[in-house]
Amino acid sequence: MRLVRRQGTPAQVLEWLGRRTGAHLAWIGRTGAVEAATAGFPRQAAGALTEQVERLAGGRLAAATTRLGELEVRLEAFGGQEPRPVLVTASASPLPREAAALTSQAGGLVDLLTRASEAEGATHGYEAKAAQLRFAVLTALLAGDVTMARRMTTGDVPPLLDAQRVRVHLLHCPPADRDRLTRTYLDPSGYHGPGLMVNCPVFREQLICPVAEDPELGGRFRQGEVLRRLVAENPAYALGVSRPHPLAATGAAYGEAVHALAVARNSPGRLAAYRGRPSLVHVLPHRPALAWARAHLEPLQEVPQSTVDVVRLAVTFSRSGVARLLHLSRTTVTAHCRRAEEALGIDLGEVRTRATLDLALSLTALQPDPADTGRPAVSPQLGELMRSAPATAWAEPFLRPLRDTRQRDLYRTVEAWIDANTDAQRTAARVGLSRNTVRAHLRAAERLLNRDLLTTGSGIHDVVHALRAAGGQRAHPAAESGRRARWSPADVAS
């Protein structure tokens, strides 16, 4: 029993039993294979005992004895479910009654240990499959496909998918805590009440937690109370929370949570709700902006859709992050990006290029406006869109917190950081500060702008667009890059 309490293995129990009885032992599992044996057990004996083992495993006998050469062999089956495992004992002479009784008791312990191990394995398998399903459901929601998310649940629809509105909570925690948290708050159906907890595949220290906003759904995750309590109790945790969104707009909610988390990690309470302004994509005049985006992306019609899908992620996340998200190699992701670069004539290593491509991809991904009846006769240039009243009206208040007299140093740092292609070392040389001071300025800017600047690309792209719309900065790489884009020269020069 001490072995059991110490979580001993079947092999350890057999070795202990062998020392007590002087016999050699083997445990034959339900498949008929030897799963554990003492060092001196004659392995060839198992093959010679196949017929007897099958009779015991099938329930026709409970125990049997036989001679095998000079060995006295005793076989005993355990458990009530067929096929049953069999304990084989081989000794030079028949076991005394006390030793035989001890062997039967030890065999029962081995059976319990084996079943416990099988149950643990089944539990881990269930948890792994449940985690895969939760990830699939979240992926469908992030893509805006609620119907697909419901189909994935095969009839056992989680409460989240019945919600009208959802908030995404993004929890920052040590990577080792993520699995423990998802197990702690798992319900019998494999979900988390009216929410989900899903390990972020890109950032190993993040848990993505969409939570139903509907009060009537209740549960332990109502309004994210559990997540807020976890942050209060753990100094290493931080939480970013989106605004309520329709379920089909979970992707937009996630983007807000990313920005809110950047603010939370720079706040004393380590908790922040999204308070930012909408992105440029939502304020540009729809028809001309969409016409520009379609013209800009036209060369991508020559590449596979899989390349477009990869690049859509690669303009926001690192290539290694995209590889983890899509279960591809980093080499494959790089090949897709190179194919898109060649089609468009661009360099995705340049931040303004990524911002422009992200804007075009985001515009074409928007739901069509019912009021639109056709395309403009002429597609506008990006410079025209950036000089439009909606763009400048968006950019001025977006940058205002940095243009405040007290924050002018932050504004200069952020502007220089974009000019330096978001390289902190080059930025430090430009503005005469240390690299650490540059990063401190960027963290302060995150809090003022309500944008993530140091983790993903979406917040950086908003800064690029705002600087351009407000001050005429370039949106494309400098001419010395040697790469020629296929869009209009006027667009590049604007």
Q: Which residues in the chain land under pLDDT 70?
A: 1-7, 215-223, 366-377, 405, 472-494
Tell me: do 73 and 153 sit in the same domain: no
pLDDT value at residue 112: 87
The Cα 26–Cα 45 span in angstroms is 10
User: Can you give the CATH number for the domain in which 230 is found?
Assistant: 3.30.70
Tell me: do 405 and 338 sit in the same domain: yes
The Cα 170–Cα 197 span in angstroms is 10
The Cα 72–Cα 42 span in angstroms is 12
SS3 call for 78: coil
Residue in the structure block whose two tokens are 């539990």: 123
Domain boundary among 243, 273, 303: 273
Which range of residues forms the domain containing residue 306?
Answer: 281-493
Tell me: do 206 and 337 sit in the same domain: no
Tell me: do 209 and 264 sit in the same domain: yes
Tell me: do 267 and 298 sit in the same domain: no
Tell me: do 103 and 245 sit in the same domain: no
User: Can you give the CATH number for the domain in which 7 is found?
Assistant: 3.30.450.30
How many angstroms separate the Cα of 88 from the Cα of each of 17, 80, 107, 109, 420?
12, 18, 10, 15, 74
Q: Strands 34-37 and 63-68, how do they pair?
A: unpaired
Residue 127 lies in a domain: no
Beta-bridge partner residues of 272: 240
The CB density around residue 484, as the number of other CB atoms within 10 Å, is 11
Residue 376 lies in a domain: yes
Tell me: do 261 and 342 sit in the same domain: no
Residue 131 lies in a domain: no
Tell me: do 191 and 217 sit in the same domain: yes
Tell me: do 187 and 336 sit in the same domain: no
Tell me: do 265 and 307 sit in the same domain: no
Please give the structure tokens belonging to residue 234: 């753990």
pLDDT value at residue 215: 62
**24, 91 contact by CB (below 8 A):** yes
Please give the structure tokens belonging to residue 195: 């929410």
**265, 235 contact by CB (below 8 A):** no
CA-angle at 105, arms to 91 and 22, nearest 5°: 25
Domain boundary among 220, 251, 273: 273
Residue at 111: amino acid letter:
D
Tell me: do 461 and 351 sit in the same domain: yes
Domain boundary among 273, 292, 317: 273
Name every residue whose Cβ is closer than 8 Å to that of residue 486 and which is 6 or more positions away in sequence: 299, 344, 345
Residue 300 lies in a domain: yes
Q: C-alpha 471: how far from its chain's center?
A: 38
The Cα 417–Cα 399 span in angstroms is 15
Please give the structure tokens belonging to residue 184: 């702690």
Residue 130 lies in a domain: no
pLDDT value at residue 378: 73
E strand residue ranges, 179-257: 198-199, 206-212, 238-241, 245-246
pTM: 0.73
Q: What angle in degrees, to the nearest 10, is found between the helix axes of 351-365 and 458-471? A: 100
Residue 45 lies in a domain: yes
Name every residue whose Cβ is closer than 8 Å to that of residue 214 and which is 6 or more positions away in sequence: 163, 164, 165, 194
Residue 124 lies in a domain: no
Specify the number of domains making up the chain: 3
Q: Residue 195 carries which DSSP code?
A: B
pLDDT value at residue 2: 60
Tell me: do 241 and 293 sit in the same domain: no
The CB density around residue 117, as the number of other CB atoms within 10 Å, is 14
The Cα 282–Cα 76 span in angstroms is 73
The Cα 220–Cα 224 span in angstroms is 8
Residue 366 lies in a domain: yes
